[in-house]
Amino acid sequence: MSAELARLVNGFRVSQMLYAAVELGIPDVLADGERSSDELAEASGADASALYRLLRALASLGILHEADGRCFALTELGKPLRGDVPASLRGWVKLSGRDYFWHTWGNLTGSIRSGENTFRSLHGQTVWEWRAAHPEESAIFDDAMRSTTLAANAAILAAYDFGRFGTVVDVGGGTGTLLASILEAHTATRGILFDQKHVVSGAEPVLRAAGVLDRCEVVGGSFFSSVPEGGDAYVLKWIIHDWEDEECVAILRTCREAMAPEAVILVIERDLGPPNENAVAKISDLNMLVMPGGRERTEGEYEQLFAQAGLRHVSTALAASGHALMEAAVQ
């Protein structure tokens, strides 16, 4: 087996190593500097011998650096595992290591054989229904979306002029991480955050911390039923890829019904790209298959969804983060 292929085969082990470190709080303990493995074991409540084995393995991958006396420090590569850094990936690591997430991906072969959504096959309900019934898992998911959104926000805002809108409606906007950044950057703009009630219930601290709570209305509901009227722009970030075509068209039509004639829809997703390229988007596409039951798409496929919903594709802006910002208007 080639070294590169072996690295790929063993990738699942690395993700669990990272999850263990994050669950034990190791990266945050190391935020203040180097610590010995014994000190880290005491701080995390872990077995000292077993923890040292984990730490030295992470050091061999460049996540940590091991010095004399079994002392460890975070490297630049490992710093995003901390929860207090702007581009933190701690939330995504915690989501990826959860038992249900792990088990669902472990049944990928079944979905490839059947074409069916793995999570629904295993649990008899959608992942959204399941998370709504498991608040602790919903909170972990929301934190993962918050951390990945924070990592992409600067690139998204640099790629598109949100300041031309008086009111931005963030449809399926979670706890408001993107909308807060938009309102921070454009002080004359107002926002409406819309998502399921149990999701937006956690939005106030995010909006308050950004200093935009007074310019943002928070509304709970389902985007299959209705979305708030009065927006100049309706943003759908990482929403459409969660669903198959029929549901996507229904979501877009719901937004269209709420839109004034001059308003626009902005869909933010990853373009699948040409063959042999863009592994991030194509692996994400498999995650859509096994978890929510959707798919990643090409720009042309998004144009077809727009047309079916009575919309026309106006333009596409590409962000440095790899996301496509596709604007559509009423036909």
Catalytic residue numbers read 241
Kindly tell me the number of DSSP H helices and DSSP E strands found in the chain: 17, 10
User: CA 131, CA 133: separation in Å to the nearest integer?
Assistant: 5
**218 Cβ neighbours under 8 A, 6+ residues apart:** 176, 192, 193, 200, 203, 204, 207
Residues in the chain, overall count? 331
Handedness of CA 328, 329, 330, 331 (dihedral sign): negative
Handedness of CA 287, 116, 308, 249 (dihedral sign): negative
Per-residue 3-state assignment (H helix, E strand, C coil) for 70-111: CEEEECCCCHHHCCCCCCCCHHHHHHHCCHHHHHHHCCHHHH
What are the tokens at 296? 């990643």
CA 214 to chain centre: 26
User: CA 234, CA 168: separation in Å to the nearest integer?
Assistant: 6
Contact status, residue 312 vs residue 306, Cβ threshold 8 Å: yes
**152 Cβ neighbours under 8 A, 6+ residues apart:** 319, 321, 323
**104 Cβ neighbours under 8 A, 6+ residues apart:** 118, 119, 122, 290, 291
Ramachandran class of 208: left when φ > 0, alpha when ψ lies in -120 to 50, beta otherwise: alpha
User: CA 111, CA 118: separation in Å to the nearest integer?
Assistant: 5
User: CA 253, CA 310: separation in Å to the nearest integer?
Assistant: 7
- For strands 71-74 and 35-36, give the pairing: antiparallel
Contact status, residue 220 vs residue 246, Cβ threshold 8 Å: no
